[in-house]
């Protein structure tokens, strides 16, 4: 294993641990989303950290807001789910966002729409966005502080 691979692995591990520890300290209900975001952001961080973070953040925001609106005002069905994913794609395209924004948004949308506690859907949407934003922030901080920047 090369020195760069070891360094990259350690960087990702530290970002994940710090994101999970911070989410747990903040008592976020589904703390696992923060390290998942840190890992995703870290894996692409070596070339395009801020670009990836921006795409993930915007896509996630659009996804959770659309999910909360859909759950609040439209009866649940597979047709509504599919139409909203299509609408999310249209919104990302109209805003000239990178296609990966749709991927991140669709994941966030799905997580929120399938939440068991539909009564608190806006809280769920907000906490999913906070989880993702926290993971991204931690990953970016670790990337900026890391002494060796190499590709995995």
Residue 150 lies in a domain: no
9 within domain boundaries: yes
Average pLDDT for residues 82-109, to the nearest whole number? Answer: 92
Q: What is the pTM of this model?
A: 0.82
58 lies in which domain range? 3-145
Q: How many domains does the chain have?
A: 1
Residue 21 lies in a domain: yes
Split at pLDDT 50, 70, 90, the class of 46 is low
Cα 69 to Cα 35, 119, 127, 145, 146: the distances in Å are: 27, 12, 15, 39, 40
In a domain, 152, yes or no: no
Residue 151 forms part of a structural domain? no
Q: Report the distance separating Cα 79 and Cα 61, nearest Å.
A: 22
Confidence (pLDDT) at 82? 96
Going by pLDDT thresholds of 50, 70 and 90, the confidence category of residue 108 is: very high
């Amino acid at each position: 294993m090369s020195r760069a691979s070891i360094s990259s692995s350690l960087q990702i591990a530290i970002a994940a641990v710090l994101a999970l520890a911070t989410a747990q300290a903040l008592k976020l209900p589904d703390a696992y989303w923060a390290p998942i975001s840190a890992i995703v952001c870290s894996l692409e961080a070596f070339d395009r950290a801020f670009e990836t973070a921006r795409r993930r953040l915007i896509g996630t925001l659009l996804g959770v807001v659309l999910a909360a609106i859909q759950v609040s005002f439209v009866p649940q069905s597979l047709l509504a789910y599919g139409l909203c994913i299509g609408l999310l794609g249209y919104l990302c395209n109209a805003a000239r966002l990178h296609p990966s924004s749709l991927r991140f948004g669709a994941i966030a949308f799905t997580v929120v729409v399938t939440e068991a506690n539909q009564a608190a859907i806006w809280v769920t949407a907000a906490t999913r966005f906070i989880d993702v934003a926290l993971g991204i922030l931690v990953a970016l901080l670790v990337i900026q502080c890391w002494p060796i920047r190499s590709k995995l």
